[in-house]
Structures are given as C-alpha cells and as structure tokens.
Amino acid sequence: MPERVLPVVMIDQILGHYRIVEKIGSGGMGEVYRAADHRLARDVAIKVLKPSLARDPDRLRRFELEARSAAALSHPNIVAIYDIGMHDGAPYIVSELLQGQTLRQRLSEGPLSPRQTADYGIQIAEGLVAAHQKRIVHRDLKPENLFLTRDGHVKILDFGIAKLTLSEYDDPRSIETMATQTKTGSVVGTVRYMSPEQLRGKPVDQRSDIFSLGAILYEMLTGQRAFAGDTEVDTMMAVLKEDPPEMALARPNVPAAFEPICRHCLEKEPEDRFQAAQDLAFALSTVSETTTRQSVPLRLHKKQFLRWLPWLAALLGLAAAGVFLGANLGPAAGPVYRRITFERGTIYSARFSPDSRSILYGASWNGRPLELYSTVGDSPLARPLGFTSAHMAALSRSNELAVVLRGTPDRRNFTGGVLAQARWPEARHARF
C-alpha cells in the first residue's frame, strides 16, 4: 500500500506553536520543513519523522538521540537545536533555519579550490572538536550532512546516528541502550565515508570521524570519491583494503601538502591517523597559510610605468631605509615556530639531516614503543624509519646513525642496550 504524501497534509499544520510553511528537504529518517515560530517571530526548520518509520522503536530512539546529541552542542559549526516535540505520534526536532546548500550540492558543480577546501575543512574539524569534547561521535559524516551557508560557514547536520561514547549525566549501564547498533556487528552509516572499524562493526571513537573527514577532503579537492566501486560490496572492500589514487592523478593542480594530510586521515588503523580533530585543524591551517600566499602581478603599460617610476623609486628608497633602521635600531624579532609533531607522547632526540631538509627524531607516541621518524620536506607529517626500540645518539654528514638498541630511557639518557651503527635512509637494519 503506497505511503500517503506527507508534504501536502503538513502545509499549514500547527506543531506546538510552529506553523508549517513549506517543505525544504528530506533525509533517510524524515522530512524537513520551514516553519514560522509565532512565539519568537522567526523562521525555523522542523524535521518530522516519516509516518512509515514512526512505529519503528530503533528509528525513534535514533531520532531522539539526534536531538539529545545536537542539543548538547553549542558551536558555530554545528546546527543549533531549539526544541523537540511530538505530532500525531511522530517526534519532530526544531532547529535553526539555514540558507545555502549542502556540500553534496556544491560538489555536483565540481571540486573546490584548495583555499576553500582548507577553510571548510578547518571549520568541520573545529565543529568535531566541540562534539568530541563531549564524547559524541557523529558516525555518519558525509557531504549530505554538511551545509554551506551563504556567509561562508559550514554547519554539521544530523547527529541522528551519533553514538554517545560516555555520558557524565547518565548511568553508564544505559549507554548500550542509546547506541545505534541494535545487534552485534550491525552497521549504520554511509559506506563510502565510513571508517574500516565501523564497517567491521567494531567500537568507534573520534578517529572514525577523522577518517570520514579525510574522505570528504579528498573529494572536495579532486571532485572524485576516495573510495568507489561498482557495487556496495566493492566500495566496502576499497575502504577496507585499498588506498585512494594520488590526488595529482585526479587533479594536477592540488597542492602537494594536502596529500600527506588526507593520507594520514585515511589510514586503515585508527592509531595511525590524527588522534584528535584539533591536530587535523592545525595541519589544515598550516596548508591554508601556504596556499593563500599568492603574488598579484603588476601589469602596467610602458607610459604608465614611466609616469610612476619616480614614485616607485622613492617608495623603494623609503622601504630600504625603513628596513635598515629597523634592523639596526629596532628590537630583535622574536623566534618563529613551526609545529612538527601532532601525536601525544615523549620525544627523546632530534637532529637535522645533512641537507637540512628533514628532521630525524625518536619518539614514543600514544604508549607505543620508541621509534625513529623523519619529517617529509615541508609537510607537517612524518614517516617512521623502521628502527623500533632504538634511541638516536648521533647523525653524521654522510647519513650514518649511531643508535642505542633496546636501551631503557631515563630522564637524560638511556641505560643498558647496545650501541649500533646504521645508515639512513637506505639501510633498515643496524650493523654492529
């Protein structure tokens, strides 16, 4: 039996003190309407659960969880929830009315510029920081759930399948009843943006959202999906086993600095990704600074150039005098820092490579054993060198390493262990 047409009967309906004006969208769980809030004299958005789903207890719990999760968040990059209610046995959520388009609609026009991608990516990451600080994981981050407002802001929508990993207000024993997984191994979300651990039905945390955002960043930059297949099973296998094609193959003008950031987000193992959304936001801000430094060409005709030449010479003279006086009379400039590491842990040693293009260092991240790493050019990321349980003692001009193997770190040095010699980067094994 076909379902009744909801938008026709909802127009001009009164829900609480809201009057439905028009339908503005629909989603997997409900229809979205513009409504007039007579009490506060403003327009709002109302999401009403579809009648065919209102009798499903799991859908109702998920819908209620959307309201509880989103209402607990107050951030400019997360849609604001105003109210919740019931109408003819179906729940509804009242939220701010947004003007603009979804990221999916924008992507239908083609990829975004690197500058715009970095800007939107930072805003999304900052919204996730606010959610993750309250132990809320979105679990369904995708272009359809990201709204681009007309004033250039990004709003994260639909916490309908968000999982509250820990509540300071509820009994911990009730958490399982609030989860969206009703059976062991069941999966909720959108396959091409889901993390491998979520596809496998394993517990997820904030690093699952970071994976999803990495797939979205890749699509914004290249105009192509990071993981795609002819069938849903093929797409799942791509997420679980394959890496996306290099960005330069899909869109040659993508700045190279974006590649390691997206790769770091899309690592198959959660512990290999950015561990927090604020670290991803910092990395994107570093790239954003480099992509926006563009020179503006000066195009003058010969007569115009000759007319302005004396003024240009005078300005250059003043600038040179200012630089000279500033260098000799002004206070010394403060140090400029560039962040190198983004994990949590302990760093034991660091050396510049002979060509000064890389930094080698030893670190123990997130409780893992000590390992040696090197930075990659101007990228904010680093790669492991393959030396585990090794402390770097010295680095020669010919890339020879002196390392202490299997030593025990103390405050200033290593005790025990064996002194070994190795070559970087070709050799992977130390020789005695």
Check whether 366 has a pLDDT greater than 90: no
110/257 same-domain check: yes
Q: Does residue 297 lie in a domain region?
A: no
**Element containing residue 96 per DSSP (H, E):** strand 90-96
Torsion of CA 367, 369, 372, 377, to 10 degrees: -30
Mean confidence (pLDDT) of the chain: 79
Query: HSE on the CB side for 316, CA within 13 Å?
Result: 6
253/113 same-domain check: yes
117/55 same-domain check: no
Q: Does residue 284 lie in a domain region?
A: yes
What six digits make up the tokens of 69?
């999760």
Q: 16-20, 31-35, 44-48, 56-60: which has the minimum mean pLDDT? A: 56-60
| Residue 173, Cβ density class (10 Å: 0-12 exposed, 13-18 middle, ≥19 buried) | exposed
| Residue 285, Cβ density class (10 Å: 0-12 exposed, 13-18 middle, ≥19 buried) | middle
What is the number of structural domains in the chain? 3
**pLDDT for 309-340, tens place per residue?**
676 677 777 777 666 666 565 555 567 666 67
Q: Does residue 329 lie in a domain region?
A: no
User: Residue 359: which pLDDT band, with cuts at 50, 70 and 90?
Assistant: confident
Kindly name the residue from 140, 158, 209, 279 that is annotated as catalytic: 140
22/113 same-domain check: no
Q: Does residue 279 lie in a domain region?
A: yes
Q: Does residue 51 lie in a domain region?
A: yes
User: Residue 69: which pLDDT band, with cuts at 50, 70 and 90?
Assistant: confident
Q: Does residue 250 lie in a domain region?
A: yes
- Distance of alpha carbon 60 from alpha carbon 95, whole angstroms: 18
User: Residue 429: which pLDDT band, with cuts at 50, 70 and 90?
Assistant: very low
* 66 close to 139: Cβ distance less than 8 angstroms: no
What six digits make up the tokens of 404?
């202490």
User: Residue 377: which pLDDT band, with cuts at 50, 70 and 90?
Assistant: low
User: Residue 1: which pLDDT band, with cuts at 50, 70 and 90?
Assistant: very low
Q: Is 37 a catalytic residue?
A: no
Q: Does residue 307 lie in a domain region?
A: no
**pLDDT for 254-303, tens place per residue?**
999 999 999 999 999 999 999 999 999 999 998 877 665 543 344 445 55
Q: What are the angstrom distances between the C-alpha of 13 and each of 10, 34, 36, 321?
A: 5, 12, 11, 73
Q: 49-63, 148-162, 387-401: which has the minimum mean pLDDT? A: 49-63
**pLDDT for 132-171, tens place per residue?**
999 999 999 999 999 999 999 999 998 766 666 544 334 4
90/109 same-domain check: no
> Domain with 58 in it: what CATH number?
3.30.200.20
92/108 same-domain check: no
pTM tops 0.75, yes or no = no
Domain boundary among 72, 96, 120: 96
**pLDDT for 244-256, tens place per residue?**
999 999 899 999 9
The DSSP annotation for 119-188 comes to HHHHHHHHHHHHHHHTTEE-S---GGGEEEETTS-EEE---TT-EES--SSS-GGGHHHHSS--STT---
Which structural domain range is residue 382 located in? Answer: 345-423
272/154 same-domain check: yes
110/240 same-domain check: yes
156/230 same-domain check: yes
* 96 close to 45: Cβ distance less than 8 angstroms: yes
- Distance of alpha carbon 32 from alpha carbon 245, whole angstroms: 37
Per-residue confidence (pLDDT) for residue 131, from 0 to 100: 94
84/104 same-domain check: no
| Residue 404, Cβ density class (10 Å: 0-12 exposed, 13-18 middle, ≥19 buried) | buried
Domain boundary among 79, 96, 113: 96
Check whether 172 has a pLDDT greater than 50: no
**pLDDT for 290-301, tens place per residue?**
665 543 344 445
Check whether 184 has a pLDDT greater than 70: no
Q: Does residue 236 lie in a domain region?
A: yes
50/120 same-domain check: no
118/66 same-domain check: no
User: Residue 43: which pLDDT band, with cuts at 50, 70 and 90?
Assistant: very high
> Domain with 264 in it: what CATH number?
1.10.510.10
